[in-house]
Amino acid sequence: MTFFQLMRRNAWRKRLRAILLMFSVGIAFLIYGLTASFVSGSQGAAGASDNLLGVFNKSGRGLPLPIAYLNRIAAEGGVAAVAYTARMRGFVEVEKNVVAVSAVDPQAIAAANGAELRLTPELISALEEGGDRVLVGRALAEAQNWSVGQRIGLTSQLMKADGSRNWSFTIAGIFEGADAGSDTYFMLARYDMVNAARARDRDTVDAFVVRPRDGIASGVLAARIDALFANSAAQTQTQSEKQFLEGFLRQFADVGLIVSLVVGAAFVTILMISVNTMLFAVRERRFEIGVMKVLGFSRGRIVALILGETLFIFAIGGAGGLILAKLATLSIGPEFGLVFSGEVLLKSIAIIAGLGLLTGLLPAVNAMRLPIVNAFKTR
C-alpha cells in the first residue's frame, strides 16, 4: 500500500457518495468545458491574431472600400504585407446551408495571412491555376463532405453581371489553419474572377488585411492607416482581427460575462455540495483520524490525506466532464465556435486543483486540529 492508495481507498469507502460527488463535479466541468470552449472559439476569435489588422469602412462593415486604397496602405512604412478581400455569402443546395467566400488575391493573402491559414505555396499555386478555383477550409470541407477536385455550386446574394446568382467553383485544395482555434469554415476564391463577374461594387473590397512589420505596435499602425483616409469619402476603421471578432460578438451580448456568471454559479453550487459532503465524510471518521494520529501520522499528513482525497474526487469527476466537453466540441464542430483549446484544458486543470484544495481545506483543518483524546470520545 502507498500513501496514494490509502487516500484513494478513503475516497472510495462510500462508493455511492463518491460517485455522486464525482458526477456533480463532472457536470460542473462539462458546463465549464463547453462554455469556455465557446468563449475560446468565439466564432474563430481563438485563432484570430492580435497582430493582424483589418481595415473596414468606418460607416459600416457591410459597406465597400475602393481597391485603390491598397497602394496607399502598402506605402505606409509600418506595413509588412497587405491583402484585400471581397466577401460573398451564399448557400449550397438548401438555404440554411450557408457558406462564406472570401475573394482574394492569392499572392497577397499568402503574404498577409498565409501563416494563420497555413496557406502553402502549393495551395497558392493551385488557386492561381484557374479563375474558378477555390481553396476550402478544413472545417467547411469536412462539414460539406467536399474533396479536392470536386466541382461545387452555390447560390449567392451577390448577383452576376448576367443576372444569375449561381456561382460554380472547383476545389483546388484544402487549407488547415494554424491550429484548432483557427476559423476554417469558409473558402478562398479569386478576387479577379469574382470582381469581373459581379454586377455591382466592382473594384471595391470589403476589407484590407494588414500585417504590421516586426516591432510596430498594431494599435499605432491602425491609427496611422485611419489617418490616411480621414478626409476621404470612405473613411476607414482599422482593428486587429481579434478586436473585430470580439466586438462583433459583443453586439449581441457580453458573452464572457454571461459565461463567467453561469460557470461561477455552477462552481459555487458544486463547492457548497462538495464541502458539505466532505465535512460529513470526515466527521464520520473522526475516530479513525484519532487512530492514525496515535500511529504517528502528523498533522501535515492528515491534511495531505484529506486534501488528496478531495483532489482525487475532483480529478476523476473533472476529467470525466472535460472528456465529455471535448467529445461534444469534436462532434459539434468548430463551425459553432466551440474550440476546446490547450488554454481551456490548462485553465480547467487549474480550476480542478483549486476547487479540490478549497473543498478539502475546511474538513482537513478540522481533522488537523482534532485532539486525539476528543477523537476517541466519538466512538
Partner 1 sequence: MTDTQDPYIALAGVRKAFRIGAETIPIFSGLDLSIPRGDFVAVMGPSGSGKSTLLNMLGGIDSADAGEIRIGRSHLEQMGEGARAAWRAHSMGIVFQFYNLLPMLNAADNIELPLLLKPLTRKERRARVDTVMDLVGLAGRQRHFPSSMSGGQQQRVGIARAIVADPDLILCDEPTGDLDRKSANDILEMLVFLNRELQKTIIMVTHDPEAAAFARRTLHLNKGEFVEGEGR
Residues that bind partner 1 (CB under 8 A): 1-3, 5-6, 9-10, 12-13, 287-288, 291-301, 372-373, 379
Please identify, using beta-carbon distances, which residue of 121 and 296 lies nearer to partner 1.
296
Please identify, using beta-carbon distances, which residue of 324 and 368 lies nearer to partner 1.
368
Interior/surface letters 77-114, b for 16+ CB within 10 angstroms, e for the rest: ebbebbbbbbbbebeeeeeeeebebbbbbbebbbbbbb
Residues 6+ apart with CB under 8 A from 2: none
Helix (H) or strand (E) segment spanning residue 341: none
Phi, psi of 34 (to 5 degrees): -70, -45
CB of 299 to partner 1, least distance (A): 7
Please identify, using beta-carbon distances, which residue of 201 and 284 lies nearer to partner 1.
284
Please identify, using beta-carbon distances, which residue of 160 and 285 lies nearer to partner 1.
285
CB of 2 to partner 1, least distance (A): 7
CB of 277 to partner 1, least distance (A): 17
CB of 295 to partner 1, least distance (A): 5
CB of 366 to partner 1, least distance (A): 15
Outline where DSSP puts E strands in 131-240. 133-137, 151-156, 166-175, 187-190, 204-205, 207-212, 236-240
Please identify, using beta-carbon distances, which residue of 91 and 287 lies nearer to partner 1.
287
CB of 371 to partner 1, least distance (A): 8
Strand partners, 190: 104
C-alpha cell at 208: 484590407
**Residue 379 DSSP label:** -
Q: What is the DSSP string of 88-135?
A: EEEESSSTTSEEEEEEE-HHHHHHHHHHHHT--HHHHHHHHT-TTEEE
Please identify, using beta-carbon distances, which residue of 159 and 372 lies nearer to partner 1.
372
